[in-house]
Amino acid sequence: MKNAHGAILFTGILLLAAVSLSSFLWFDFGNTVKKDSVLELLPIAVVQDGLQKNNEISKDVTKTSKGGTWNLMLVNKENPIPENYDVNLVEVEGGERVDERIYEPLMEMLNAAREGNLGELPMVVSGYRTQEKQQSLYDEKIAKFKQEECSDNEAVEQAKQWVAVPGYSEHQLGFAVDINGATYDVYLWLQQNSYKYGFIFRYPGSKTGITGTAEEVWHYRYVGQEAAKEIYERGICLEEYLEDL
């Protein structure tokens, strides 16, 4: 009986050793993967599928908390730029940069606006801004109001009406632009026609109480044609549109 038990135990040890050796050889074969990673324990198809899903999740950072898509992302005094936000930029005439997804509709709109701009192409004078650039503009505006004998607190509050706090500016998204024209007529044209190209007059004076920003006739924001058309026809601002979704 003791010999039988011993034989069984010995056989079990041999089988365990064989399985361990074959596992080692399988994972080490061709030195396909590194042994330091948990991913090496998964079939290649599973690893690739996981990486693809991770990339899809990273793209979701451009979705709004209200379930909209990237073009409806709300950034204002209460809603900052998402952490780790990334944007693919392309240069427009004049040297400014914008999100590559708005380049074509932006150029179509600017070309169409020539008729209200003495036949000249309106210029994008401010597109995408880095955190550092936004901070610089914000600090300059505060300093300007201080020179006008405003107290420190008053200067900050006044500055916020004209320049967004760094981290809370649509310009840091890449699909908001400030446009400069040869005459004021170009702004009237943009207010009446920008929606056809997916852009909205972002800060009307009548909506300052909602947007928290003084009227900026030069500031246009891409939201897509469907949203832009409804916002224009209803005479509402982006905050109101998103609230109704």
Give the span between the Cα atoms of 50 and 57, in whole angstroms.
11
Lowest mean pLDDT among 16-25, 115-124, 148-157, 201-210: 16-25
Q: What is the mean pLDDT of residues 220-243?
A: 98
Contact indicator for 81, 164 with CB cutoff of 8 Å: no
Contact indicator for 211, 239 with CB cutoff of 8 Å: yes
Specify the pLDDT at position 161. 86
Tell me which residue of 204, 192, 188 sits closest to 232, measured CA to CA.
192
- Burial (CB count within 10 angstroms: exposed 0-12, middle 13-18, buried 19+), residue 8: exposed
- Tell me the β-bridge partners of 59: none
pTM of the model: 0.71
- Residue 103 tokens read as 């380049």
The mean pLDDT value of the chain amounts to 80
| DSSP three-state, residue 179 | strand
- Tell me the β-bridge partners of 221: 176, 200
Instruction: Report the catalytic residues.
Output: 216
Give the span between the Cα atoms of 194 and 44, in whole angstroms.
49
Specify the pLDDT at position 241. 98
Specify the pLDDT at position 115. 86
Specify the pLDDT at position 133. 95
Contact indicator for 127, 98 with CB cutoff of 8 Å: yes
Judge whether residue 64 has pLDDT over 90. no
Give the span between the Cα atoms of 205 and 213, in whole angstroms.
8
